[in-house]
Structure 1
Amino acid sequence: MQRTETPTQPPLTCVELCAGAGGQSLGLEQAGFRPLLLAEIDPDACATLRANRPRWPVLRSDIRALDVNAFQEAEPDLLAAGVPCPPFSVAGSGLGPEDERDLFPAVVALAAKLRPRAVLIENVRGLLQQRFNGYRTEICRRLAELGYVAEWQLLYASDYGVPQLRPRAILVALPARLFRLFQWPVPDATAAAPVTVGRALRASMAAEGWELADEWAAGADRIAPTLCGGSRRHGGPDLGPSRARQTWAAMGVNAASVADRLPQPGERLPVRLVPEQLAQLQGFPPDWVFTGTKTARCRQIGNAFPPPVADAVGRQLAAVLAGVGFKGPETSTLAGRRIAVQYDGQQGSPRPEGP
């Protein structure tokens, strides 16, 4: 993975919308950003943020009703958001802008009020489908009116040390003369083989004395399917839809539900994973605590933006923002022209989504 030095003085600042359980927040913290505000509507996710970072300014709020007057003068370096995925996912019916949960317009509206130096938004790969071409173009057009050059890119979590494929559609927007300096993170070609489920979870599988831990790890020596968090409308503590469960079964995992404890001596294959293992598959550190019921914890984990990916993108933004003493966007004829990788287009190197 391409790395840059993390800026330390002065600290870069960030306002994060739809912060969830802190995947993006943690990655941006590691990249050198200090949060001015983290807005999240889910009470369990807010509790998780407060439990792990008591000093973070967490506000439970629908971002469509967010009052920015209290921190508008802070001039954030970055406005980041992990907007709800169901409007652009198969599981969520893919209604796009017709879905009431589509919050892209709210993020753009807040960008107009806050005037950050950069904007970062992540969502599911489905947003890059051809049928959403017009919608992505419209988002870039609105950002162009604010003086930003916007670009979409498809990143895979497995390229950044996460034992899960998890493709994500990432949008980065910067003023034109800053955007010219920005480079997307690239995997480190010198790194060892990608981290697999077996390698990542072998130690925890053996923690309670389970005799089959090594055998299981050998059979799970592959990248995990994309974890699904579900929504409050439907979904429980499981590892995803039928196709994903078939892949998990081939890895010795019963994906129909989530366990309350690690595998015990004498337990036979397939086994179930515990929430803490799901968090590890998302790239969270072992000391990151999730609050709420098991279903709530699994939902927070499954909906998260993997911290290592947020860190990788954040460091590339930090390298640009820390090196240029420019506040606020500028108007440019270049603004809004760059719209990158298409889900079913010709750019980039296509990969199978996986279950």
Structure 2
Amino acid sequence: MTSSTLTSIEICAGAGGQALGLEQAGFEHELLVEYWSPAVQILRANRPKWNIVEKDVREVDFRLYRDANIDLVAGGVPCTPASKAGKQLGASDERNLWPEAIRMVDEVRPRAAMFENVRGLMDPKFEGWRNETLEALAALGYEDAVWDMIYAADFGVPQLRPRSVLVAFRDEEARERFRWPEPVTPEGSRVSVGETLKDLVSANGWEGADHWATEVATTIGPTLVGGSEKHGGADLGPTRARAQWRRLGVDGLGLANHGVAPAKKHDPNGPFKLNVRMAARVQGFPDIWKIDEVLRKTNAYKTMGNAFPPPAARAMGEAIRAALGPGADAGHERSGQVPVD
């Protein structure tokens, strides 16, 4: 570990979108916790040297890391309690792991914490829940936490994908230095679905690929919905989202098999299904990140379809790194892509 490397612990790691983004921002993971076996397979296939624990977070004793001087604890705690696709039961939902996130902060006492969730968590309905969370953090010394929205499309991802993100710091100086990340690709310069996927959809020589990329799929796409480990995952989202995909020339009612792309004579105006690798690109995963090589279609899509896009996670990680003070970002530059292998 170099002097410029910061350490982190992450819960609910999923397919590794947040972990990869934080790694690119210069964080070294001391521990990743994920209980769903297919997601663990993705993580281990890509980062066999990471300390990945396949366990329910409620069974993990984070006090083991109290003396490790961890810089950041993070997690994409389950979004179902606040998701508009669910019943929005909030704190009463048995899948609500926010108490475990607060417990992790209490037991580890890191310099910073970051937790991401769905946009719905910012609705007025959950104001009381948010306030309780902020009060719990303040009681532990993490005062004046910031809870705001980040949009993946602002960081080169071809879907809006709004996420709520909570950031808290232990030290007042870090809180004062923290600045929410500025968009890299703001509205007006966003990356379209067509330019993102053109090479993949033309893999079989589709004669309509240029027309599709430059005349049809010229905007960002709707937010992908991966479903839960028990439900969903067979298509790109609910009815409204599928209608939006249809306008982009994509049939959202299902996924193509691994590696399948439109045939050479596919109708230039006919919709086609995305395969998992295409969907991963839409999520901001680099092609080197093994997903379809590890799992069958449905589980591969489920693990990746709920991820915090790596470019957005990297932006948040860099903002936190800068706030942690001089030396935290030494030797770490934004320009160029940090290697992922």
Q: What's the counterpart of residue 130 of structure 2?
A: 136
Mapped pair 1:313 → 2:307: no
Distance 1:181 1:238 in 2: 42
Q: Any idea what the Cα deviations from partners look like across 1:159-197, whole Å, max 9, x if unmatched?
A: 011000000000000123310110000114799821010
Residue type matched to 2:113 in 1? V
Q: What's the counterpart of residue 258 of structure 1?
A: 255
Cα offset, 1:232, TM superposition = 2.5
Distance 1:186 1:159 in 2: 8
Distance 1:148 1:278 in 2: 37
Mapped pair 1:14 → 2:11: no
Cα offset, 1:92, TM superposition = 1.4
Mapped pair 1:270 → 2:275: no
TM-score normalized by structure 1? 0.87
Cα offset, 1:301, TM superposition = 1.3
Distance 1:194 1:8, change over 3 A: farther
Segment of structure 1 superposing worse, 151-160 or 264-273:
264-273
Q: What's the counterpart of residue 338 of structure 2?
A: none
**Structure 2 contact 4–327 (Cα < 8 Å) conserved:** no
Q: Any idea what the Cα deviations from partners look like across 1:247-266, whole Å, max 9, x if unmatched?
A: 11111111000001111122
Cα offset, 1:296, TM superposition = 0.6
CA-based RMSD:
1.7
Mapped pair 1:151 → 2:146: yes
**Structure 2 contact 153–185 (Cα < 8 Å) conserved:** no
Structure 1 residue aligned with 2:218, among 206, 217, 221? 221
Mapped pair 1:212 → 2:208: yes
- Residue ranges of structure 2 left out of the alignment (5+ in a row): 329-341
Q: What's the counterpart of residue 162 of structure 2?
A: 167
What does 1:296-311 correspond to in 2, within 5 Å?
A: 296-311=299-314
Cα offset, 1:47, TM superposition = 0.9
Q: What's the counterpart of residue 91 of structure 1?
A: 85
Q: Any idea what the Cα deviations from partners look like across 1:276-319, whole Å, max 9, x if unmatched?
A: 00000010001101132211110011110000000001001111
Q: What's the counterpart of residue 68 of structure 1?
A: 62
Residue type matched to 2:264 in 1? P
1:41 match: secondary structure: coil
Cα offset, 1:236, TM superposition = 2.9
Residue type matched to 1:115 in 2? R
Aligned residues: 319
Mapped pair 1:281 → 2:282: yes
Distance 1:187 1:245 in 2: 27
TM-score normalized by structure 2? 0.90
Q: What's the counterpart of residue 341 of structure 1?
A: none
Q: Any idea what the Cα deviations from partners look like across 1:211-249, whole Å, max 9, x if unmatched?
A: 111121120111110000101332132100000010111
Percent identity at matched positions? 46
**Structure 1 contact 125–154 (Cα < 8 Å) conserved:** yes
Structure 2 residue aligned with 1:247, among 232, 237, 244? 244
Residue type matched to 1:10 in 2? S
Residue type matched to 2:290 in 1? V
Q: Any idea what the Cα deviations from partners look like across 1:85-137, whole Å, max 9, x if unmatched?
A: 11101111111101111111110011100000000000000000001001001
**Structure 2 contact 236–252 (Cα < 8 Å) conserved:** yes
